[in-house]
Amino acid sequence: MCRIAGIINNMVQPEVLLEKVKVMCRTLEHGGPDDEGVHYDQNGHLVFGHRRLSIIDLSSGGHQPMADTHGRALITFNGEIYNYLELRGELTGLGITFNSATDTEVILQAYLQWGVKAFGKFRGMFAFALFDTARRLTYVVRDTAGIKPVYYTAQDNGLSFASEISAFTAAGIATQQDPNWPIRFLAFGHIPEPYTTLQQIYSLPKGHYLCWDHSLCTYKICPYQQQENKTRINDINEAQEIIKQALTKAVKRQMIADAPLGVFLSGGIDSSLLTLLADQEKGRQLKTISIFFDEKQYDEQAYQKVILNTTTGENFSHLVKQDDFENHFGHIMEAMDMPTTDGINSWFISKYAHDNGLKAVLSGIGADEYFGGYPSFNRIRYLAYLRNIPPFLFSSVHGLLPDAYKKLTFLVDQSPTADYLLLRGLFSPGDISRILDTDTTQVRAVLFDSNKGSESSRYSPEQASWFETNLYMQNQLLRDTDVMSMSHGLEVRVPFLDEDFTAAAQSIASDIRFNRQQPKKLLIDSFDILPASVWNRPKMGFSFPLQIWMRENTRINNPEHYKGKLARYNIQKFKNGQIHWSKAFALYQIQPHV
Protein backbone atom coordinates (compact mmCIF):
# COMPACT_ATOMS: atom_id res chain seq x y z
CA MET A 1 0.00 0.00 0.00
CA CYS A 2 1.50 3.24 -1.08
CA ARG A 3 1.04 6.61 -2.71
CA ILE A 4 1.79 7.30 -6.36
CA ALA A 5 2.30 10.38 -8.56
CA GLY A 6 3.55 11.14 -12.02
CA ILE A 7 3.76 13.57 -14.91
CA ILE A 8 4.05 12.93 -18.67
CA ASN A 9 4.93 15.95 -20.81
CA ASN A 10 7.37 16.29 -23.71
CA MET A 11 7.13 20.10 -23.63
CA VAL A 12 8.63 20.50 -20.17
CA GLN A 13 12.30 20.20 -19.23
CA PRO A 14 13.24 16.97 -17.38
CA GLU A 15 14.57 18.79 -14.33
CA VAL A 16 11.24 20.64 -13.98
CA LEU A 17 9.28 17.38 -14.23
CA LEU A 18 11.56 15.75 -11.67
CA GLU A 19 11.21 18.59 -9.19
CA LYS A 20 7.42 18.67 -9.50
CA VAL A 21 7.10 14.93 -8.91
CA LYS A 22 9.48 15.13 -5.96
CA VAL A 23 7.24 17.81 -4.46
CA MET A 24 4.20 15.58 -5.06
CA CYS A 25 5.94 12.69 -3.31
CA ARG A 26 6.89 14.82 -0.33
CA THR A 27 3.24 15.84 -0.01
CA LEU A 28 2.24 12.15 -0.05
CA GLU A 29 4.92 10.97 2.38
CA HIS A 30 2.41 10.19 5.16
CA GLY A 31 0.89 7.45 2.99
CA GLY A 32 4.23 5.83 2.22
CA PRO A 33 6.67 6.41 5.07
CA ASP A 34 8.96 3.44 4.37
CA ASP A 35 10.62 4.35 1.07
CA GLU A 36 10.61 6.84 -1.81
CA GLY A 37 11.39 6.41 -5.47
CA VAL A 38 11.38 8.84 -8.40
CA HIS A 39 12.24 7.69 -11.92
CA TYR A 40 12.67 9.75 -15.10
CA ASP A 41 12.25 8.00 -18.44
CA GLN A 42 13.81 10.00 -21.27
CA ASN A 43 12.08 8.04 -24.01
CA GLY A 44 8.66 8.60 -22.52
CA HIS A 45 9.24 12.13 -21.24
CA LEU A 46 7.75 10.98 -17.98
CA VAL A 47 8.52 10.95 -14.29
CA PHE A 48 6.92 8.36 -12.01
CA GLY A 49 7.02 8.88 -8.25
CA HIS A 50 6.32 6.48 -5.42
CA ARG A 51 6.00 6.52 -1.63
CA ARG A 52 6.06 3.03 -0.14
CA LEU A 53 4.23 1.46 2.78
CA SER A 54 5.78 -2.01 2.98
CA ILE A 55 3.23 -4.81 3.49
CA ILE A 56 4.30 -7.61 1.12
CA ASP A 57 8.01 -8.34 0.63
CA LEU A 58 9.50 -5.86 3.08
CA SER A 59 12.91 -6.02 1.39
CA SER A 60 14.43 -3.53 -1.02
CA GLY A 61 13.16 -5.82 -3.78
CA GLY A 62 9.86 -3.98 -3.49
CA HIS A 63 11.36 -0.58 -4.32
CA GLN A 64 9.38 1.41 -6.85
CA PRO A 65 9.01 2.65 -9.53
CA MET A 66 9.84 -0.83 -10.81
CA ALA A 67 10.78 -2.00 -14.30
CA ASP A 68 11.06 -5.51 -15.70
CA THR A 69 14.59 -6.75 -16.37
CA HIS A 70 14.37 -5.90 -20.10
CA GLY A 71 12.98 -2.41 -19.57
CA ARG A 72 9.79 -3.12 -21.50
CA ALA A 73 7.49 -1.71 -18.82
CA LEU A 74 7.73 0.62 -15.84
CA ILE A 75 5.21 0.78 -12.97
CA THR A 76 4.32 2.82 -9.89
CA PHE A 77 1.72 0.90 -7.88
CA ASN A 78 -0.53 1.57 -4.90
CA GLY A 79 -2.47 -1.33 -3.41
CA GLU A 80 -2.46 -5.07 -2.98
CA ILE A 81 -3.08 -7.91 -5.43
CA TYR A 82 -4.42 -10.68 -3.21
CA ASN A 83 -4.28 -13.40 -5.87
CA TYR A 84 -0.74 -12.54 -6.95
CA LEU A 85 0.63 -15.92 -5.87
CA GLU A 86 -1.82 -17.77 -8.14
CA LEU A 87 -1.00 -15.43 -11.03
CA ARG A 88 2.70 -15.78 -10.33
CA GLY A 89 2.36 -19.55 -10.50
CA GLU A 90 0.51 -19.31 -13.79
CA LEU A 91 3.14 -16.98 -15.25
CA THR A 92 5.98 -19.17 -13.98
CA GLY A 93 4.35 -22.07 -15.80
CA LEU A 94 4.62 -20.01 -18.98
CA GLY A 95 8.38 -19.73 -18.50
CA ILE A 96 8.56 -16.32 -16.84
CA THR A 97 11.11 -15.81 -14.06
CA PHE A 98 10.76 -13.36 -11.18
CA ASN A 99 13.39 -11.32 -9.36
CA SER A 100 11.36 -10.39 -6.27
CA ALA A 101 8.57 -11.72 -4.07
CA THR A 102 6.32 -8.71 -4.76
CA ASP A 103 2.86 -8.44 -6.23
CA THR A 104 4.17 -5.40 -8.13
CA GLU A 105 6.37 -7.54 -10.35
CA VAL A 106 3.40 -9.85 -10.98
CA ILE A 107 1.44 -6.88 -12.38
CA LEU A 108 4.33 -6.04 -14.72
CA GLN A 109 4.72 -9.58 -16.02
CA ALA A 110 0.96 -10.13 -16.28
CA TYR A 111 0.66 -7.04 -18.48
CA LEU A 112 3.62 -8.08 -20.63
CA GLN A 113 2.01 -11.50 -21.10
CA TRP A 114 -1.67 -10.60 -21.51
CA GLY A 115 -1.86 -6.86 -22.19
CA VAL A 116 -4.87 -4.95 -20.87
CA LYS A 117 -6.70 -8.26 -20.33
CA ALA A 118 -4.43 -8.70 -17.30
CA PHE A 119 -6.25 -5.91 -15.46
CA GLY A 120 -9.40 -8.02 -15.19
CA LYS A 121 -7.44 -10.92 -13.70
CA PHE A 122 -6.36 -9.00 -10.61
CA ARG A 123 -8.20 -9.55 -7.33
CA GLY A 124 -7.40 -6.76 -4.95
CA MET A 125 -7.42 -3.02 -4.39
CA PHE A 126 -5.15 -1.01 -6.62
CA ALA A 127 -4.33 2.14 -8.50
CA PHE A 128 -1.24 2.05 -10.68
CA ALA A 129 0.42 3.68 -13.66
CA LEU A 130 2.25 1.45 -16.14
CA PHE A 131 4.38 2.69 -19.04
CA ASP A 132 4.73 0.39 -22.05
CA THR A 133 8.06 1.58 -23.46
CA ALA A 134 7.77 -0.11 -26.86
CA ARG A 135 4.24 1.07 -27.66
CA ARG A 136 4.77 4.43 -25.93
CA LEU A 137 1.52 4.10 -24.00
CA THR A 138 0.90 4.74 -20.31
CA TYR A 139 -2.00 3.08 -18.51
CA VAL A 140 -3.47 4.49 -15.31
CA VAL A 141 -5.64 1.75 -13.80
CA ARG A 142 -8.09 1.58 -10.87
CA ASP A 143 -9.63 -1.44 -9.12
CA THR A 144 -13.22 -2.53 -9.81
CA ALA A 145 -14.57 -1.48 -6.40
CA GLY A 146 -12.86 1.91 -6.39
CA ILE A 147 -11.14 1.19 -3.08
CA LYS A 148 -7.94 3.00 -4.03
CA PRO A 149 -8.27 6.50 -5.47
CA VAL A 150 -6.31 8.01 -8.33
CA TYR A 151 -6.82 11.50 -9.72
CA TYR A 152 -5.66 12.87 -13.05
CA THR A 153 -5.55 15.98 -15.19
CA ALA A 154 -4.84 16.19 -18.91
CA GLN A 155 -3.87 19.69 -20.01
CA ASP A 156 -1.08 21.51 -21.85
CA ASN A 157 -0.29 18.36 -23.88
CA GLY A 158 0.50 16.42 -20.73
CA LEU A 159 -0.94 14.04 -18.18
CA SER A 160 -0.47 14.24 -14.42
CA PHE A 161 -1.80 11.81 -11.80
CA ALA A 162 -1.65 11.35 -8.03
CA SER A 163 -3.25 9.52 -5.11
CA GLU A 164 -4.42 12.74 -3.44
CA ILE A 165 -5.40 16.10 -4.88
CA SER A 166 -3.15 17.94 -2.44
CA ALA A 167 -0.21 16.74 -4.54
CA PHE A 168 -1.42 18.70 -7.57
CA THR A 169 -1.72 21.89 -5.53
CA ALA A 170 1.68 21.47 -3.88
CA ALA A 171 3.38 21.02 -7.25
CA GLY A 172 1.56 23.97 -8.82
CA ILE A 173 -0.15 21.73 -11.38
CA ALA A 174 -3.66 22.81 -10.39
CA THR A 175 -4.41 25.66 -8.04
CA GLN A 176 -7.79 26.98 -9.23
CA GLN A 177 -10.77 25.90 -7.14
CA ASP A 178 -13.79 24.45 -8.91
CA PRO A 179 -16.44 27.09 -8.14
CA ASN A 180 -19.13 24.40 -8.03
CA TRP A 181 -17.62 22.23 -5.32
CA PRO A 182 -19.50 23.93 -2.44
CA ILE A 183 -22.81 23.23 -4.21
CA ARG A 184 -22.03 19.54 -4.51
CA PHE A 185 -20.65 19.38 -0.99
CA LEU A 186 -23.67 20.99 0.69
CA ALA A 187 -25.97 18.58 -1.15
CA PHE A 188 -24.04 15.32 -0.79
CA GLY A 189 -21.87 15.89 2.28
CA HIS A 190 -18.89 14.93 0.11
CA ILE A 191 -17.50 15.70 -3.36
CA PRO A 192 -19.00 13.07 -5.72
CA GLU A 193 -16.81 11.44 -8.34
CA PRO A 194 -15.50 12.30 -10.85
CA TYR A 195 -15.33 15.84 -9.45
CA THR A 196 -12.86 17.28 -6.96
CA THR A 197 -12.42 20.70 -5.38
CA LEU A 198 -9.99 21.66 -8.16
CA GLN A 199 -10.67 22.64 -11.75
CA GLN A 200 -9.68 20.01 -14.34
CA ILE A 201 -8.72 17.45 -11.68
CA TYR A 202 -10.87 14.33 -11.92
CA SER A 203 -11.14 10.93 -10.31
CA LEU A 204 -10.57 7.96 -12.60
CA PRO A 205 -13.72 5.77 -12.55
CA LYS A 206 -13.47 2.43 -10.79
CA GLY A 207 -12.95 -0.59 -13.03
CA HIS A 208 -11.47 1.61 -15.77
CA TYR A 209 -8.09 2.43 -17.23
CA LEU A 210 -6.87 5.65 -18.80
CA CYS A 211 -4.57 5.08 -21.78
CA TRP A 212 -2.23 7.98 -22.65
CA ASP A 213 -0.67 7.95 -26.12
CA HIS A 214 2.75 9.60 -25.83
CA SER A 215 3.07 10.20 -29.57
CA LEU A 216 -0.30 11.92 -30.02
CA CYS A 217 -0.63 13.44 -26.51
CA THR A 218 -4.19 12.13 -26.35
CA TYR A 219 -5.99 9.74 -24.02
CA LYS A 220 -9.03 7.53 -23.74
CA ILE A 221 -10.77 6.02 -20.70
CA CYS A 222 -12.08 2.47 -21.05
CA PRO A 223 -13.60 -0.19 -18.78
CA TYR A 224 -11.57 -3.37 -18.51
CA GLN A 225 -13.40 -6.66 -18.79
CA GLN A 226 -14.28 -8.60 -15.68
CA GLN A 227 -15.74 -12.09 -15.83
CA GLU A 228 -19.48 -11.69 -15.26
CA ASN A 229 -21.62 -14.13 -13.31
CA LYS A 230 -24.77 -14.67 -15.35
CA THR A 231 -26.36 -17.18 -12.96
CA ARG A 232 -29.25 -16.22 -10.69
CA ILE A 233 -29.51 -18.10 -7.40
CA ASN A 234 -33.06 -18.57 -6.14
CA ASP A 235 -32.46 -21.25 -3.51
CA ILE A 236 -31.83 -19.79 -0.05
CA ASN A 237 -29.68 -22.69 1.16
CA GLU A 238 -27.49 -22.46 -1.92
CA ALA A 239 -27.25 -18.69 -1.44
CA GLN A 240 -26.12 -19.09 2.17
CA GLU A 241 -23.46 -21.62 1.22
CA ILE A 242 -22.11 -19.40 -1.57
CA ILE A 243 -21.92 -16.38 0.74
CA LYS A 244 -20.18 -18.41 3.43
CA GLN A 245 -17.59 -19.83 1.05
CA ALA A 246 -16.94 -16.56 -0.77
CA LEU A 247 -16.46 -14.44 2.37
CA THR A 248 -14.31 -17.07 4.07
CA LYS A 249 -12.09 -17.16 0.97
CA ALA A 250 -11.97 -13.35 0.78
CA VAL A 251 -10.87 -13.01 4.40
CA LYS A 252 -8.26 -15.73 4.03
CA ARG A 253 -6.60 -14.21 0.99
CA GLN A 254 -6.81 -10.65 2.30
CA MET A 255 -4.83 -11.67 5.38
CA ILE A 256 -1.72 -12.27 3.33
CA ALA A 257 0.96 -9.91 4.64
CA ASP A 258 4.57 -9.76 5.77
CA ALA A 259 3.75 -6.93 8.20
CA PRO A 260 1.51 -6.86 11.34
CA LEU A 261 -2.20 -7.12 10.42
CA GLY A 262 -5.39 -6.80 12.47
CA VAL A 263 -9.13 -6.08 12.38
CA PHE A 264 -11.24 -3.05 13.26
CA LEU A 265 -13.73 -4.42 15.82
CA SER A 266 -16.61 -2.01 16.44
CA GLY A 267 -19.05 -4.54 17.87
CA GLY A 268 -21.43 -4.53 14.91
CA ILE A 269 -22.36 -7.45 12.69
CA ASP A 270 -19.81 -6.83 9.94
CA SER A 271 -16.67 -6.26 12.00
CA SER A 272 -17.63 -9.05 14.40
CA LEU A 273 -18.01 -11.53 11.55
CA LEU A 274 -14.66 -10.53 10.02
CA THR A 275 -12.98 -10.86 13.43
CA LEU A 276 -14.36 -14.36 13.94
CA LEU A 277 -13.30 -15.47 10.45
CA ALA A 278 -9.86 -13.87 10.81
CA ASP A 279 -9.45 -15.56 14.19
CA GLN A 280 -9.92 -18.92 12.48
CA GLU A 281 -6.93 -18.05 10.28
CA LYS A 282 -4.61 -16.24 12.68
CA GLY A 283 -5.66 -17.30 16.17
CA ARG A 284 -3.39 -15.83 18.85
CA GLN A 285 -1.52 -13.79 16.26
CA LEU A 286 -4.62 -11.75 15.43
CA LYS A 287 -4.84 -8.24 16.83
CA THR A 288 -8.07 -6.24 17.07
CA ILE A 289 -8.56 -2.49 17.51
CA SER A 290 -11.63 -1.09 19.27
CA ILE A 291 -12.92 2.28 20.43
CA PHE A 292 -15.26 3.17 23.28
CA PHE A 293 -16.73 6.35 24.77
CA ASP A 294 -17.82 7.83 28.07
CA GLU A 295 -21.13 8.68 26.34
CA LYS A 296 -22.92 5.37 26.97
CA GLN A 297 -25.48 5.72 24.15
CA TYR A 298 -22.57 5.42 21.69
CA ASP A 299 -20.56 2.80 23.57
CA GLU A 300 -20.39 -0.71 22.08
CA GLN A 301 -17.96 -2.28 24.54
CA ALA A 302 -20.47 -4.91 25.66
CA TYR A 303 -20.81 -6.24 22.10
CA GLN A 304 -17.07 -6.06 21.49
CA LYS A 305 -16.51 -8.20 24.59
CA VAL A 306 -18.95 -10.84 23.32
CA ILE A 307 -16.67 -11.38 20.33
CA LEU A 308 -13.42 -11.02 22.25
CA ASN A 309 -14.54 -13.73 24.67
CA THR A 310 -14.61 -16.21 21.77
CA THR A 311 -11.30 -15.20 20.14
CA THR A 312 -7.73 -15.77 21.24
CA GLY A 313 -5.82 -12.77 19.87
CA GLU A 314 -4.83 -9.48 21.48
CA ASN A 315 -7.26 -6.56 21.66
CA PHE A 316 -6.29 -2.89 21.89
CA SER A 317 -9.18 -0.84 23.22
CA HIS A 318 -9.10 2.96 23.33
CA LEU A 319 -11.27 5.49 25.13
CA VAL A 320 -11.94 8.52 22.90
CA LYS A 321 -13.05 11.67 24.70
CA GLN A 322 -14.15 15.19 23.86
CA ASP A 323 -10.63 16.40 24.66
CA ASP A 324 -9.17 14.02 22.07
CA PHE A 325 -11.49 15.43 19.45
CA GLU A 326 -10.54 19.00 20.38
CA ASN A 327 -6.80 18.30 20.51
CA HIS A 328 -6.70 16.49 17.15
CA PHE A 329 -9.27 18.59 15.29
CA GLY A 330 -6.62 20.45 13.29
CA HIS A 331 -4.88 17.21 12.29
CA ILE A 332 -8.19 15.69 11.18
CA MET A 333 -9.00 18.67 8.99
CA GLU A 334 -5.52 18.60 7.47
CA ALA A 335 -5.79 14.89 6.65
CA MET A 336 -9.09 15.18 4.74
CA ASP A 337 -7.58 16.16 1.36
CA MET A 338 -11.13 17.17 0.29
CA PRO A 339 -14.10 18.30 2.40
CA THR A 340 -16.28 15.57 3.89
CA THR A 341 -18.86 15.15 6.62
CA ASP A 342 -17.45 11.75 7.54
CA GLY A 343 -14.03 10.27 8.27
CA ILE A 344 -13.45 11.46 11.84
CA ASN A 345 -14.09 7.95 13.15
CA SER A 346 -11.70 6.50 10.57
CA TRP A 347 -9.00 8.99 11.56
CA PHE A 348 -9.11 7.94 15.21
CA ILE A 349 -9.32 4.17 14.70
CA SER A 350 -6.47 4.38 12.16
CA LYS A 351 -4.34 6.42 14.54
CA TYR A 352 -4.74 3.83 17.29
CA ALA A 353 -4.07 0.92 14.93
CA HIS A 354 -0.84 2.61 13.84
CA ASP A 355 0.10 3.44 17.43
CA ASN A 356 -0.38 -0.23 18.33
CA GLY A 357 2.09 -1.34 15.67
CA LEU A 358 -0.27 -2.42 12.89
CA LYS A 359 0.34 -1.71 9.22
CA ALA A 360 -2.83 -3.26 7.81
CA VAL A 361 -6.36 -3.92 9.09
CA LEU A 362 -9.59 -5.49 7.85
CA SER A 363 -12.74 -3.34 7.75
CA GLY A 364 -16.43 -4.26 7.33
CA ILE A 365 -17.25 -1.70 4.64
CA GLY A 366 -19.59 -3.14 1.98
CA ALA A 367 -21.88 -5.45 3.94
CA ASP A 368 -24.59 -2.83 4.53
CA GLU A 369 -24.56 -1.88 0.86
CA TYR A 370 -24.79 -5.47 -0.41
CA PHE A 371 -27.34 -6.85 2.05
CA GLY A 372 -29.75 -4.03 2.86
CA GLY A 373 -28.25 -2.72 6.08
CA TYR A 374 -29.41 0.91 5.75
CA PRO A 375 -32.86 2.49 6.33
CA SER A 376 -32.82 3.60 2.67
CA PHE A 377 -33.62 0.03 1.57
CA ASN A 378 -37.09 0.37 3.09
CA ARG A 379 -37.52 4.10 2.61
CA ILE A 380 -36.94 3.92 -1.13
CA ARG A 381 -40.34 2.22 -1.57
CA TYR A 382 -42.07 5.43 -0.52
CA LEU A 383 -40.35 7.44 -3.25
CA ALA A 384 -42.65 5.84 -5.83
CA TYR A 385 -45.67 7.30 -4.02
CA LEU A 386 -44.04 10.71 -3.63
CA ARG A 387 -43.18 10.73 -7.34
CA ASN A 388 -46.92 10.60 -8.12
CA ILE A 389 -47.37 14.06 -6.58
CA PRO A 390 -47.06 16.89 -9.17
CA PRO A 391 -43.45 18.20 -8.85
CA PHE A 392 -44.41 21.87 -9.01
CA LEU A 393 -46.18 21.53 -5.66
CA PHE A 394 -42.84 20.87 -3.92
CA SER A 395 -41.24 23.84 -5.62
CA SER A 396 -44.05 26.22 -4.74
CA VAL A 397 -44.08 25.40 -1.02
CA HIS A 398 -40.30 25.34 -0.37
CA GLY A 399 -40.37 28.45 1.79
CA LEU A 400 -43.22 27.06 3.89
CA LEU A 401 -41.72 23.64 4.60
CA PRO A 402 -40.11 22.90 7.98
CA ASP A 403 -36.37 22.15 7.77
CA ALA A 404 -36.88 18.40 8.07
CA TYR A 405 -39.09 18.37 4.95
CA LYS A 406 -37.22 20.79 2.70
CA LYS A 407 -35.43 17.90 0.99
CA LEU A 408 -38.78 17.00 -0.60
CA THR A 409 -38.02 19.76 -3.10
CA PHE A 410 -35.46 17.43 -4.68
CA LEU A 411 -38.52 15.74 -6.21
CA VAL A 412 -38.86 18.68 -8.58
CA ASP A 413 -36.11 16.97 -10.59
CA GLN A 414 -36.65 13.59 -12.24
CA SER A 415 -32.98 12.54 -12.04
CA PRO A 416 -32.13 9.39 -10.05
CA THR A 417 -29.59 11.59 -8.28
CA ALA A 418 -32.53 13.56 -6.87
CA ASP A 419 -33.90 10.32 -5.41
CA TYR A 420 -30.58 9.66 -3.71
CA LEU A 421 -30.36 13.17 -2.31
CA LEU A 422 -33.86 12.90 -0.91
CA LEU A 423 -32.69 9.79 0.94
CA ARG A 424 -29.23 10.98 2.00
CA GLY A 425 -28.71 14.62 1.05
CA LEU A 426 -27.93 17.44 3.49
CA PHE A 427 -29.35 20.75 2.26
CA SER A 428 -32.15 21.38 -0.23
CA PRO A 429 -31.43 23.23 -3.51
CA GLY A 430 -33.24 26.31 -2.21
CA ASP A 431 -31.19 26.44 0.98
CA ILE A 432 -27.94 25.80 -0.92
CA SER A 433 -28.67 28.75 -3.21
CA ARG A 434 -29.35 30.99 -0.20
CA ILE A 435 -26.25 29.84 1.71
CA LEU A 436 -23.99 30.37 -1.29
CA ASP A 437 -25.84 33.41 -2.61
CA THR A 438 -26.37 31.86 -6.02
CA ASP A 439 -29.32 31.01 -8.25
CA THR A 440 -31.38 27.86 -7.63
CA THR A 441 -31.26 27.11 -11.37
CA GLN A 442 -27.46 27.00 -11.16
CA VAL A 443 -27.62 24.70 -8.14
CA ARG A 444 -29.90 22.26 -9.94
CA ALA A 445 -27.78 22.36 -13.10
CA VAL A 446 -24.68 21.40 -11.10
CA LEU A 447 -26.36 18.65 -9.07
CA PHE A 448 -28.25 17.02 -11.92
CA ASP A 449 -25.72 17.28 -14.75
CA SER A 450 -25.95 13.52 -15.24
CA ASN A 451 -28.66 10.91 -14.81
CA LYS A 452 -26.56 8.10 -13.46
CA GLY A 453 -28.52 5.34 -11.84
CA SER A 454 -28.86 1.60 -11.61
CA GLU A 455 -30.17 -0.55 -14.44
CA SER A 456 -32.70 -2.13 -12.08
CA SER A 457 -36.19 -0.77 -11.59
CA ARG A 458 -36.46 2.46 -9.64
CA TYR A 459 -37.61 2.40 -6.02
CA SER A 460 -36.42 -1.21 -5.56
CA PRO A 461 -33.92 -2.67 -3.07
CA GLU A 462 -31.53 -3.13 -5.99
CA GLN A 463 -31.63 0.58 -6.70
CA ALA A 464 -31.05 1.37 -3.03
CA SER A 465 -28.05 -0.97 -3.14
CA TRP A 466 -26.77 0.81 -6.25
CA PHE A 467 -27.13 4.21 -4.58
CA GLU A 468 -25.43 3.10 -1.37
CA THR A 469 -22.60 1.34 -3.24
CA ASN A 470 -21.87 3.80 -6.04
CA LEU A 471 -22.65 7.09 -4.34
CA TYR A 472 -22.45 6.88 -0.55
CA MET A 473 -19.86 4.12 -0.12
CA GLN A 474 -17.81 5.06 -3.18
CA ASN A 475 -17.62 8.80 -2.63
CA GLN A 476 -17.65 8.97 1.14
CA LEU A 477 -16.89 5.75 3.04
CA LEU A 478 -14.12 4.44 0.78
CA ARG A 479 -12.52 7.80 0.00
CA ASP A 480 -12.56 8.92 3.63
CA THR A 481 -11.29 5.57 4.89
CA ASP A 482 -8.43 5.65 2.40
CA VAL A 483 -7.29 9.19 3.06
CA MET A 484 -7.70 9.02 6.85
CA SER A 485 -5.96 5.65 7.23
CA MET A 486 -3.13 6.59 4.90
CA SER A 487 -2.56 9.80 6.85
CA HIS A 488 -1.32 7.40 9.56
CA GLY A 489 0.53 5.08 7.17
CA LEU A 490 -2.10 2.35 7.61
CA GLU A 491 -3.63 0.07 4.97
CA VAL A 492 -7.33 -0.79 5.25
CA ARG A 493 -8.55 -3.94 3.50
CA VAL A 494 -12.23 -4.59 2.75
CA PRO A 495 -13.10 -8.29 2.29
CA PHE A 496 -16.78 -7.58 1.54
CA LEU A 497 -15.62 -5.79 -1.63
CA ASP A 498 -13.53 -8.72 -2.84
CA GLU A 499 -14.31 -9.16 -6.54
CA ASP A 500 -15.40 -12.78 -6.18
CA PHE A 501 -17.51 -12.04 -3.10
CA THR A 502 -19.18 -9.16 -4.94
CA ALA A 503 -20.00 -11.47 -7.85
CA ALA A 504 -21.43 -14.04 -5.45
CA ALA A 505 -23.64 -11.49 -3.68
CA GLN A 506 -24.90 -10.01 -6.93
CA SER A 507 -25.79 -13.44 -8.31
CA ILE A 508 -28.41 -13.95 -5.58
CA ALA A 509 -32.07 -13.14 -6.29
CA SER A 510 -33.28 -9.89 -4.75
CA ASP A 511 -36.00 -11.42 -2.58
CA ILE A 512 -33.36 -13.60 -0.88
CA ARG A 513 -30.59 -11.01 -0.64
CA PHE A 514 -32.76 -8.24 0.87
CA ASN A 515 -35.13 -8.75 3.77
CA ARG A 516 -37.46 -5.94 4.87
CA GLN A 517 -37.96 -7.25 8.39
CA GLN A 518 -34.32 -7.96 9.22
CA PRO A 519 -31.44 -6.11 7.56
CA LYS A 520 -28.58 -8.36 6.43
CA LYS A 521 -30.55 -11.51 7.28
CA LEU A 522 -28.89 -13.54 4.50
CA LEU A 523 -25.41 -12.61 5.73
CA ILE A 524 -26.32 -13.45 9.34
CA ASP A 525 -27.95 -16.78 8.45
CA SER A 526 -24.95 -17.81 6.33
CA PHE A 527 -22.72 -18.08 9.41
CA ASP A 528 -23.48 -19.99 12.60
CA ILE A 529 -20.47 -18.44 14.39
CA LEU A 530 -22.10 -15.03 14.91
CA PRO A 531 -23.64 -14.66 18.41
CA ALA A 532 -27.32 -13.62 18.52
CA SER A 533 -26.53 -10.86 21.01
CA VAL A 534 -24.48 -9.14 18.29
CA TRP A 535 -26.97 -9.29 15.42
CA ASN A 536 -30.26 -9.20 17.32
CA ARG A 537 -30.03 -5.59 18.49
CA PRO A 538 -30.62 -2.08 17.12
CA LYS A 539 -28.19 -0.92 14.43
CA MET A 540 -25.72 1.72 15.60
CA GLY A 541 -23.15 1.96 12.86
CA PHE A 542 -19.61 3.08 13.63
CA SER A 543 -20.77 6.31 15.30
CA PHE A 544 -19.00 8.90 17.43
CA PRO A 545 -20.70 11.32 19.87
CA LEU A 546 -20.20 14.14 17.38
CA GLN A 547 -23.60 15.68 18.04
CA ILE A 548 -22.35 16.35 21.57
CA TRP A 549 -18.70 17.09 20.81
CA MET A 550 -19.29 19.55 17.96
CA ARG A 551 -21.83 21.51 19.99
CA GLU A 552 -18.99 22.10 22.47
CA ASN A 553 -16.42 22.96 19.79
CA THR A 554 -16.01 26.76 19.69
CA ARG A 555 -14.70 26.72 16.13
CA ILE A 556 -17.92 25.12 14.88
CA ASN A 557 -20.62 26.34 17.27
CA ASN A 558 -20.15 30.13 17.01
CA PRO A 559 -22.65 31.70 14.55
CA GLU A 560 -20.44 34.80 14.27
CA HIS A 561 -17.81 32.73 12.46
CA TYR A 562 -20.17 32.14 9.53
CA LYS A 563 -20.91 34.17 6.45
CA GLY A 564 -24.58 34.64 5.55
CA LYS A 565 -27.82 34.87 7.46
CA LEU A 566 -29.00 31.33 6.74
CA ALA A 567 -25.67 29.74 7.72
CA ARG A 568 -25.68 31.61 11.04
CA TYR A 569 -29.30 30.64 11.60
CA ASN A 570 -28.48 26.96 11.04
CA ILE A 571 -25.55 27.07 13.45
CA GLN A 572 -27.78 28.58 16.11
CA LYS A 573 -30.28 25.77 15.51
CA PHE A 574 -27.43 23.29 15.85
CA LYS A 575 -26.46 24.81 19.22
CA ASN A 576 -30.08 24.37 20.27
CA GLY A 577 -30.01 20.69 19.28
CA GLN A 578 -32.39 21.12 16.34
CA ILE A 579 -30.27 19.96 13.38
CA HIS A 580 -27.76 17.17 12.79
CA TRP A 581 -24.04 17.76 13.33
CA SER A 582 -23.24 16.87 9.69
CA LYS A 583 -25.01 20.04 8.50
CA ALA A 584 -23.07 22.23 10.92
CA PHE A 585 -19.79 20.52 9.98
CA ALA A 586 -20.53 21.05 6.27
CA LEU A 587 -21.22 24.75 6.84
CA TYR A 588 -17.99 25.05 8.82
CA GLN A 589 -15.95 23.63 5.95
CA ILE A 590 -17.21 26.04 3.29
CA GLN A 591 -16.23 29.09 5.35
CA PRO A 592 -13.19 31.08 4.16
CA HIS A 593 -11.24 30.33 7.37
CA VAL A 594 -10.98 26.61 6.59
- Strands, E assignment, 133-277: 137-142, 151-155, 158-162, 202-203, 208-213, 218-223, 261-264
Judge whether 514 and 461 are in contact, CB under 8 Å.
yes
The residue from 2, 211, 217, 222 that is catalytic is 2
- Is 103 annotated as contributing to ligand binding? yes
Judge whether 112 and 69 are in contact, CB under 8 Å.
no
Instruction: Tell me how long the chain is.
Output: 594
The string of DSSP codes covering 103-155 is: HHHHHHHHHHHHGGGGGGG--EEEEEEEEETTTTEEEEEE-TT--S--EEEEE
Judge whether 136 and 211 are in contact, CB under 8 Å.
no
Q: CB atoms < 10 A from the CB of 41, how many?
A: 19
Helix (H) or strand (E) holding 292: strand 287-292
- Is 364 annotated as contributing to ligand binding? yes
Peptide bond into 339 cis (omega under 30): no
Read off φ and ψ for residue 114, nearest 5 degrees.
-120, -5
Q: Is the Cα torsion angle 27, 31, 34, 36 positive or negative in sign? A: negative
Judge whether 239 and 508 are in contact, CB under 8 Å.
yes
Per-residue burial over 14-29, b = 16 or more CB atoms within 10 Å of its CB, e = otherwise? eeebbebbbbbbebbe
Helix %, strand %, coil % for the chain, to 5? 45, 15, 35
Read off φ and ψ for residue 311, nearest 5 degrees.
-115, 165
For the question of residue 2 being annotated catalytic, the response is yes
Annotated binding-site ranges for ATP: 291, 363-364
Annotated binding-site ranges: 103, 291, 363-364
Annotated binding-site ranges for L-glutamine: 103
**Residues assigned a catalytic role:** 2
